[in-house]
Amino acid sequence: MRRHVVISDTQVRKGDPTAHLSWAAAWIVEHKPDVIVHMGDHWDCPSLSAYDLPGTLKAEGQRYEDDVEAGNDAFKLLSGPVEAEVRRIKRNKKRAWEPERHFLFGNHENRIDRALNQNPKFAGMIGYHHLNTQGWKRHAYLERLWIDGIVYSHFFQSSHSSHAIGGSIDNRLNKIGASFVQGHEQGMRYGMRQQASGTEWHGLVAGSFYLHDEGYRGAQGQDHWRGIVVLNEVEEGRYCVMPLTANYLCRWAEGISVGEWLRRNYKNAEHRFTLARKP
């Protein structure tokens, strides 16, 4: 049996807090899982948003270079400590630990492909080659990745259309037909179905690991679950789910709540997520 760690939708933008990635990295180094999967939407790419058109207030000052730099710097916070621990163990000739590391591009990274399709003259000037995943195995947008009987994808499309399969976990299990993990949607959903054959299908949606507010969700839409998920006892599609919230990781790494940490480090931290998590 193996252990997987699932990270998704870190949505990095210039100026947003990224310490949660360091907390996740520290937990991973301490507990040494076999597999780490980032489900995508790490580079938020607001400069390429099709929703914030040129001339709008949200588009003002957005730069592709800022999107790339912010995402690359934040990815180092996650990947750097893991790689350093792998090298340290090798040097000391201890029992090897070198986890599988996978990065699945999400629809936010796919904004680059959409921009190139609309403006081919920018080929080479923008592209995935600027996104530094530091040795992680990269998987194309909406590629299905199978590991230990679980199918991973940023999200899953209906077999008869390009639209994402939605609804309950039970509905998704019916249509996907296997144990699955996806990101893309804020919050967390999990369910399990015992088949008549004796096999188990497990379904997990976990698509939000960030500390900032998402403006498009409005004043009442900021209190969704945020965190990473550990899958224990993974074998042939079965797993035992263990969510780790951003607040838990902050308390584990810093000894204080995420709300208190943000107040101490961001003078103007008025995020509703922050205020909802008082010391």
Structure-block tokens of residue 73: 């710097």
Residue 57 banded pLDDT, cuts 50, 70, 90: very low
Radius of gyration of the chain (CA): 19
Structure-block tokens of residue 38: 């980032």
Using alpha carbons, list the distances in angstroms from residue 245 to 150, 201, 209: 22, 24, 8
Q: What is the pLDDT of residues 149-199, one digit of tens each?
A: 999 999 999 888 888 999 999 999 999 999 999 999 999 999 999 988 889
How far is it, in rounded angstroms, from Cα 254 to Cα 256? 6
pLDDT (0 to 100) of residue 175: 95
Residue 253 banded pLDDT, cuts 50, 70, 90: very high
% residues pLDDT > 70 (the chain): 91
Q: What's the chain's average pLDDT?
A: 91
Element (H, E) at 31: helix 19-31
Weakest mean pLDDT among 63-67, 132-136, 204-208, 216-220: 216-220
pTM of the model: 0.92
Residue 276 reports pLDDT greater than 90: no
Q: What is the pLDDT of residues 10-49, one digit of tens each?
A: 999 999 999 999 999 999 999 999 999 999 999 999 999 8
Q: Which domains are present in the chain?
A: 2-275 (3.60.21)
Residue 138 reports pLDDT greater than 50: yes
Residue 252 reports pLDDT greater than 60: yes
Does residue 22 contact residue 254 with C-beta atoms inside 8 Å?
A: no
Alpha helices in 33-189 (DSSP H): 64-91, 111-118, 169-176
Rounded to the nearest 10°, the torsion over CA 199, 139, 171, 194 is 10
Residue 61 reports pLDDT greater than 70: no
